[in-house]
Structure 1
Amino acid sequence: LEAVRISCAGFPSKRPYTEFVDHFWMLAPELLSNPDIDDREIAQRILLKTGIDGYQMGVTKVFLRAGHMAMLDKMRTEHQNRGATIIQKYARGWLARRHVARLRAAIVALQAAVRAAQARKAYA
């Protein structure tokens, strides 16, 4: 009965607290380090940190106004994209350094071969 009243009041999106925290934890990762905080409190702090104000906390679920779930998903996607960009940056740097090291090794081997050929030619 309460869920019907909340849904009619303009809160079409709803998620259980555990599912909400599992999905949006990266928007406030510092909250997971405290084991004394329950999922309801973590969900509420995530919503406060992100600035979402159109929500209602139920007994087992968080209810969001229309469009707010999409805003949270967008924030989550942007956060993941930033993380992916950082990982790609370090991977590309490592690959470039490895390529340069291999080029240097090839150059040294080529120089040694040329010098050996010149030495053989000079003393032959």
Structure 2
Amino acid sequence: KQFPAEERQARALEWIETYALQYRRQWRRQAVIDALAQMRCADCPLTGGDESSPCAIHARWLTLLRRYADEELSSHDYVEAVLNLLRAYKHQLRVSEIHQRSQLQRAARCPISANG
């Protein structure tokens, strides 16, 4: 009863159109996140052979993506957080590689006698 009778149908259609568009956007965001949650890199070395769940990096990225989709993060903050995540992982890989090389070098210098 807020609007004259001749405007009500037009206003109702406008309201439906506006909220349908908003609902569709939210649904699409959630559908994309759900699809990406099921995916992972086929050659991911971080899963320990578990193909049913995402690795730690993928899980953290999905958390960031959800926060971005829920508008808790701006585009800038999302990209920055993802790049920081990748940098941290890259650094972790370097440290791990250096540690492994160091262990191999020590093992080569101090072979254990087969005779005991």
Q: Calculate the TM-score normalised by the size of structure 2.
A: 0.38
Structure having greater relative contact order (Cα 8 Å, sep ≥ 6): 1
Q: Give the number of the structure whose residues are more often strand, by fraction.
A: 1
Larger radius of gyration: 1
Q: Calculate the TM-score normalised by the size of structure 1.
A: 0.36
